[in-house]
């Protein structure tokens, strides 16, 4: 499985117990400097990937990115602790426990100006996107609308609708394939041909009868099962993070509950055609 990113909630917990200092004993290197820049490194005590230091094959990827397996160090001490013989996992756990015991009760959070700066940059970005879409597109009559004001619920609803439309088009293609054999036979009759020999061919040897049956009845439906399941997973993951900073968004909160219920039901019952 691919290396998983550290969850924002885990990062917040690590910073909260860091005292804004490298966890190495006696080190006074700050994690966030006076310019609100992160100048340290989040380190895996037991490596996230098989070739890393202290890799533990019995861990799963969630355990590898968990709070208990992470430590924030300055670059110098991150490199130093890569010496596995000198820094076995037990020693790193002791360093983490000692540091968090000393600093865990101190209040520390990232300056809100960092969040404000990011928000300002994104507001400008979306304004530029809207301008490009509405006024700079080379052929306005063919432009695809990008609505920056759509809510998360509206965006995901549009995604599901697009997937549904795509499935509808593939169903139309399937029906056309089913009628292909009859259309060819009708055309031959209209052109004055004797279709006796054509009709005598068994359906399983006729390339126009039930054309691409497995693709249309197994392959494509199974891919749409994958697509809708992935979309629902993405929606739940996104709304999980979104509501951490938009807790008062009642409409999205309601959709989050619905999406979780739908995903749970798919986890119990969704399956492939065979």
Could you report the per-residue pLDDT of 158-179, keeping only the tens digit for each?
Answer: 899 999 999 999 989 888 888 8
- pLDDT for res 95: 95
What does the DSSP assignment read for 137-152?
-SSGGGPPP--TT--H
* Residue range 185-232, pLDDT digits in tens: 999 999 999 999 999 999 888 888 888 888 888 888 899 989 999 999
20: left (phi over 0), alpha (psi -120 to 50) or beta: left
Q: What global pTM score does this model have? A: 0.51
Q: Which residues pair with 234 in a beta bridge?
A: none
The reported pLDDT for the residue numbered 239 is: 87
Distances (CA, A) of 214 to 2, 9, 48, 134, 211: 32, 45, 40, 44, 9
Q: Give 11-43 as a DSSP string.
A: HHHHHHTTTTB-SSTT---BSB-TTS-B-SEEE
- Exposed / middle / buried, residue 159 (Cβ in 10 Å: 0-12, 13-18, 19+): middle
Give yes or no for a contact between 1 and 61, defined as CB atoms under 8 angstroms apart. yes
Give me the phi and psi of 32, to 5 degrees please: -115, 120
Q: What is the pLDDT of residue 242?
A: 77
């Amino acid at each position: 499985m691919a290396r998983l990113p550290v969850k924002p909630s885990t990062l917040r917990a690590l910073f909260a117990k860091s005292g804004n200092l490298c966890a190495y004993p006696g080190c006074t290197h700050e994690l966030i400097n006076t310019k609100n820049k992160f100048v340290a490194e989040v380190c895996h005590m037991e490596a996230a990937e098989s070739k890393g230091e202290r890799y533990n094959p019995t861990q799963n990827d969630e355990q590898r990115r968990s709070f208990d397996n992470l430590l924030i160090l300055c670059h110098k001490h991150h490199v130093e602790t890569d010496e596995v013989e000198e820094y076995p996992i037990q020693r790193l756990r002791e360093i983490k426990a000692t540091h968090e015991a000393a600093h865990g009760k101190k209040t520390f959070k990232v300056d809100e100006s960092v969040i404000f700066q990011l928000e300002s940059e994104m507001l400008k970005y979306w304004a530029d996107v809207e301008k490009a879409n509405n006024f700079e597109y080379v052929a306005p009559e063919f432009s695809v609308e990008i609505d920056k004001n759509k809510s998360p619920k509206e965006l995901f609803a549009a995604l599901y609708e697009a997937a549904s439309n795509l499935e509808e088009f593939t169903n139309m293609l399937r029906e056309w394939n089913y009628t292909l054999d009859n259309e060819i036979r009708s055309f031959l009759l209209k052109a004055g041909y004797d279709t006796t020999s054509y009709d005598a061919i068994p359906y399983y040897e006729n390339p126009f009868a039930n054309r691409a049956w497995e693709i249309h009845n197994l392959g494509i439906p199974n891919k749409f099962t994958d697509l809708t399941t992935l979309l629902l997973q993405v929606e739940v993951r996104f709304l999980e993070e979104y509501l951490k900073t938009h807790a008062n968004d009642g409409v999205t909160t309601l959709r989050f509950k619905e999406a979780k219920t739908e995903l749970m039901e798919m986890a119990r019952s969704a399956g492939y055609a065979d």
